[in-house]
Amino acid sequence: MKSTADQIEAYLFKRIEDSENGMIDLQRNELAQLFSCVPSQINYVIATRFTLERGYVIESKRGGGGYIRIRRVTEEAHSELDAIMRAIGSQITQREAEGIVWRLESDGILTAREAKMMRAVLSRDILHMPLPTRDEFRARLFVAMLVAVLTHDGEEME
């Protein structure tokens, strides 16, 4: 007999497979009721089994009408993200980050506007903190921005 977590995972995988765009929206409380479990168990399954490393991006909207969106990342976006994340590592200098932004813009992966915003956010003029904390924080910001841009499918969250 499968554990509740395994059942939830199988259900979500099937819903993603059956979706036209590789994306599902769900209400955590409704899913918890469906599986007769606590909402934190839904969080656990999503956080541990639908990771970027496994090819998924999670978005959430909190509040009364809030939901969780699970999106399967395309193979090309996933492999591009994977390579970039390895290059970034746990910390990155401003010069290294600007080099990656330049390459992504040159390759047409980032728009000029996206590249300009990334350069502004990753600048040492904005990140006023001592090293190595600044380079570690820059790496986390950079990865978060790249995940948002490279996995965006044109649909806006409401």
Distance CA 23, CA 25 (A): 7
Q: Is the dihedral of CA 34, 38, 39, 45 positive or negative?
A: negative
User: What is residue 158's predicted lDDT score, i.e. its pLDDT?
Assistant: 41
Query: Quick check: do 4-72 and 75-150 share a fold?
Result: no
Please spell the DSSP secondary structure of 67-107, one letter per residue.
EEEEEEPPHHHHHHHHHHHHHHTT---HHHHHHHHHHHHHT
pLDDT profile of the chain (158 residues), mean per 10: 90 92 88 91 89 79 74 74 82 91 84 93 89 92 86 52
Task: Name 57's bridge partners.
Answer: 71
- Measure CA of the first residue to CA of the last residue in the chain; give whole Å: 38
Residues whose CB falls within 8 Å of the CB of residue 70, separated by 6 or more in sequence, listed in order = 12, 16, 23, 24, 26, 46, 50, 56, 57, 58
Instruction: Give domain limits for the chain.
Output: 4-72, 75-150
User: What is residue 66's predicted lDDT score, i.e. its pLDDT?
Assistant: 65
The answer to whether domain 75-150 has CATH 1.10.1200.150 is yes
Neighbouring C-beta atoms of residue 84, cutoff 10 Å: 18
CATH of 4-72, one of 3.40.630.10, 3.90.1150.10, 3.30.56.130, 3.40.190.10: 3.30.56.130
In the chain, how long is the greatest CA-to-CA distance?
56
User: What is residue 157's predicted lDDT score, i.e. its pLDDT?
Assistant: 42
E-strand ranges in the chain read: 23-26, 56-61, 67-72
User: What is residue 152's predicted lDDT score, i.e. its pLDDT?
Assistant: 63
User: What is residue 113's predicted lDDT score, i.e. its pLDDT?
Assistant: 95
Task: Name 77's bridge partners.
Answer: none
User: What is residue 153's predicted lDDT score, i.e. its pLDDT?
Assistant: 55
User: What is residue 33's predicted lDDT score, i.e. its pLDDT?
Assistant: 92
Distance CA 139, CA 43 (A): 25
User: What is residue 65's predicted lDDT score, i.e. its pLDDT?
Assistant: 60
